[in-house]
Amino acid sequence: MEITFQTVMSQVMLGLNNGVFYAILSLGLAVIFGLLNIVNFAHGALYMLGAYVALLGYTTLGPLIGMPDFHLNYWAALLVAPMVVGALGMAIERTMLRRLYKFDHLYGLLLTFGLALIIQGVFTNFFNVSGDPYDAKPEILNGAVSLGFMMFPKYRLWVIVISLAVCFGTWFVIERTKLGSYLRAGTENPELVKAFGVNVPLMITLTYGYGVGLAAFAGVLAAPIYSVSPVMGAEMIITVFAVVVIGGMGSIMGAIVTGLLLGVVEGFTKVVYAPASSTVIFLIMVVVLLVKPAGLFGRES
Amino acid sequence: MSDAVAKEMLKISGLHAWYGESHILHGVDLAVGEGELVTLLGRNGAGRTTILKSIMGLVGRRAGSITVQGSETIGMATHRIAHLGLGYCPEERGIFSSLSVEENLLLPPVVKSGGMSVEEIYEMFPNLKERRGSMGTRLSGGEQQMLAMARILRTGARLLLLDEITEGLAPVIVQALGRLIKQLKEKGFTIILVEQNFRFAAPLADRHYVIEHGAIAEMIVKDELAGSMERLNRYLGV
């Protein structure tokens, strides 16, 4: 590929499109890790689950409840999928994760890893591993718009805009509001926050629900771009964990910025030397681990 | 002594507490009347901090009885205990580094009506007003201590558990804290003070409990203090 402004910018834009997925997923992981101290290995599976809520809501739910004409539309799925998956996440936290807080954090990680394998296994059993198309993309998001230097698919532009809005909205709530101050304080010293009269266990449940709800939201956004498959989360999550390692678990803004940046780096690598594009993130991960083990935005403890 | 006390704020009887496998408190009995100021004296590791933490439900396991104005709290979740009107100031002060001074101040929810307003608090601690935008742990040790005190005065708590508030602070700050505690006592707060600095605590307190090996070794009323100094010094290893 010849390196021109156009080719670079188009790959950068496509990279940014991947980057917002990295950002939104690693943001969810960072929020959960902050309060629960658990690396949520189920994140990829719940992202996949979000996409399936959208897909099944569109294709199967209507006939199932005896209303063959009912199709859960895309906009509704953007709300419903995070709520369904968030509720499932809260049930997981209440019934399982909660029992493990008194042990080493490793146990929580193992539990979520097990859950991820179970969810993925069940879906692999019932659905096509090579993926099913999601045809509910709204009319208004079809086609392309001109960005001056290139024509860019409207839907992908929408994904970038709404993801950035959700990411920065989350950042704002955590860093700038009263509710966020409970969350930050709870991350630092949950015992003391309890002693002040805040229901920290409830806060933890809601936080886990919100974190995995973000994953489901990303899953719905991904459904019209990539096909919906039981392994879509497993593929995505490996890269996202690399993003988290590079950014460091410490900061919300770090998770967002690192996600976006690495998407762009990936896109740029496609122009310079395409075969390296799928490994460049892991190369950066190794270098960051060697030079700054806490990650670019992490705090050395 | 406690006959003279009009109303019981806190009553602890037969309290045992554990951190994991270690059994720290072995049957603590004490009572604090409304508006009283009592100290918990003793050597390091005697169990004074653990008594405060047990009252807040912050130990691994506790057994016995702790009542706050008659309500039994031994089986209560920590966040509910606070809403009975307790304010806790931990030994390490517990100022949050990711929160600004003002966020730290506003963090604890109001648990009872009648707490101080933010304006009153800023009037009392002008330094905090000046630095309300700074991050909490940027404050000096003395300012952090003032902040740790100020934030529980906002909540309407009437029973204050204060753990080593003078530790590591300059004499002038310790004097200021002494004046503050005196003011709070005049306003009718009930205060339990864990204190290493006996000279700070002695003129403020109504009664002193001496803690040894996780139990109450002796209770000394203010008036008997002078005659008990020799025994007290032996307890404290001075």
Residue A61 has pLDDT above 50, yes or no: yes
How many CA atoms, within 13 angstroms, populate the side-chain half-sphere of residue A262? Answer: 30
Residue A203 has pLDDT above 80, yes or no: yes
Average pLDDT of chain A, as a whole number: 93
CB spacing of B99 vs A198 below 8 angstroms: no
Closest chain A residue to B53, measured at CA: A195
Inter-residue contact A222 to A229 (CB < 8 Å): no
Instruction: Compute the count of residue pairs across chains A and B with CB atoms less than 8 Å apart.
Output: 62
**Quick one: fold of B1-82+200-238?**
Rossmann fold (3.40.50)
Q: How confident is the model at residue A298 (pLDDT cuts 50, 70, 90)?
A: confident
Inter-residue contact A268 to A222 (CB < 8 Å): no
Mean pLDDT (whole number) for A101-113 = 91
Q: How confident is the model at residue B6 (pLDDT cuts 50, 70, 90)?
A: low
Q: How confident is the model at residue B132 (pLDDT cuts 50, 70, 90)?
A: very high
Distance spanning both ends of chain B, measured CA to CA: 27
Q: What is the pLDDT of residue A27?
A: 96
Q: Which residues of A touch B (CB under 8 A)?
A: 178, 181-182, 184-185, 187-189, 191-201
- DSSP strand pairing (A144-146 vs B61-68): unpaired
List of chain B residues whose C-beta atoms are within 8 Å of the C-beta of residue A181 = 99, 103, 106-107
- The Cα–Cα gap between B10 and A266 comes to 63
Mean pLDDT (whole number) for A60-72 = 88
Residue A6 has pLDDT above 50, yes or no: yes
B13 three-state secondary structure: strand
Residue B1 has pLDDT above 50, yes or no: no
Q: How confident is the model at residue B134 (pLDDT cuts 50, 70, 90)?
A: very high
Residue B4 has pLDDT above 60, yes or no: no
Q: Which helix (H) or strand (E) holds A102?
A: none
Residue A232 has pLDDT above 90, yes or no: yes
pLDDT tens-digit readout, B138-163: 999 999 999 999 999 999 999 999 99
| Candidates A178, A188, A200; nearest CB to B96 | A188
List of chain B residues whose C-beta atoms are within 8 Å of the C-beta of residue A299 = none
Percent pLDDT > 90 in chain A is 78
Q: What is the pLDDT of residue B5?
A: 47
Q: How confident is the model at residue A68 (pLDDT cuts 50, 70, 90)?
A: confident
Edge-to-edge strand list for the sheet holding B8-19: B22-33, B8-19, B61-68, B71-72
The region of weakest confidence among A1-15, A54-68, A170-184, B96-110 is A1-15
| Candidates A181, A188, A198; nearest CB to B79 | A198
Residue A293 has pLDDT above 70, yes or no: yes
Q: What is the pLDDT of residue B2?
A: 45
Dihedral angle, C-alpha B51, B53, B54, B56, nearest 10 °: 130
Domains in chain A, please, with CATH?
5-291 (1.10.3470)
Q: What is the pLDDT of residue A177?
A: 95
CB spacing of A196 vs B107 below 8 angstroms: yes
Mean pLDDT (whole number) for A111-137 = 95
| Candidates B82, B98, B99; nearest CB to A197 | B82
Going from N- to C-terminal start, the domains of chain B cover: 1-82+200-238
Greatest Cα-to-Cα distance within chain A, rounded to the nearest angstrom: 63
| Candidates B82, B83, B96; nearest CB to A185 | B96
Q: Which residues of B touch A (CB under 8 A)?
A: 56-58, 77-83, 88, 90, 94, 96-99, 103, 106-109, 111, 155
Interface test with A, best of B101, B107, B147, B162 (most A CBs within 10 A): B107
Inter-residue contact A13 to A157 (CB < 8 Å): no
Closest chain B residue to A250, measured at CA: B98
- The Cα–Cα gap between A114 and B135 comes to 40
